[in-house]
Amino acid sequence: MFMTRHDHQLHEGESLKNAARDRLTEQGEQWTGMRASVFDALASFDKPASAYDIAEEVSKRQGRRVAANSVYRILDLFVGANLARRVESANAYVANAHPDCLHDCIFLICDQCGQTVHIDDDSLSGGVRQAAKSAGFSAPRPVIEVRGTCGDCESN
């Protein structure tokens, strides 16, 4: 097992927000106040957050009701622009810490605490892509997630 090497910028806080904004504007999309709020809220969670979680958080911060609907629209945009990822097995979303580079990523989700770590392993995801192609599938988008128990929960 090895991790494919590549130089990528791991962002956090302001830096992440800036990277996200830049990425989105490069795509010809606008970086609006609402989008910034949704991104902030998303990035503030330390585990995958549902659209409703995010709607609630944004509502709290803005002191007004923000509908899940609007959040979904923005999340879809984010996912399309690689600013966020959807965790299929959790019906939830996480901010992408390096929106700059494109990866099939692998999520490890703890069934106990919900903590999720994200790893990149291009040899694994490449293998999955390749298997899909061999089976006649085009435009494959791998979804690779692992449910289990994280080290912290295991030792407690």
Residues near a copy of itself, by CB under 8 A: 1, 88-89, 106, 108, 110, 117, 119, 121, 123-124, 127-132, 134-151, 154
Contacts of DNA in 51-80 (CB under 7 A): 51-53, 65-70, 72-74, 76
Place of tokens 């090497």: 5
Residue 94, token pair as written in the block: 């996480």
Q: Which residue among 15, 18, 25, 32 contacts DNA (CB under 7 A)?
A: 32
Residue 45, token pair as written in the block: 């969670």
Angle formed at CA 154 by CA 150 and CA 156, multiple of 5 degrees? 125
Q: Distance between CA 75 and CA 43 in Å, rounded?
A: 12
Interacting span for DNA (CB under 7 A) from 15-23, 47-55, 118-126, 128-136: 47-55
State the minimum distance, in angstroms, from the CB of residue 71 to DNA: 8
Out of a copy of itself, DNA, none, what residue 156 binds, judged by CB under 5 to 8 A for its kind, is none
State the minimum distance, in angstroms, from the CB of residue 75 to a copy of itself: 16
Q: How many residues bind DNA (CB under 7 A)?
A: 22
In Å, what is the CA distance from 71 to each residue of 24, 39, 150?
Answer: 16, 10, 29
For the chain, the C-alpha Rg in angstroms (whole number) is 16
Residue 126, token pair as written in the block: 């490449």
User: Residues 61, 41: contact at Cβ < 8 Å?
Assistant: yes
Out of DNA, a copy of itself, none, what residue 144 binds, judged by CB under 5 to 8 A for its kind, is a copy of itself
Under the rule (CB under 7 A), what is the footprint of DNA?
Answer: 29-30, 32-35, 50-53, 65-70, 72-74, 76, 91-92
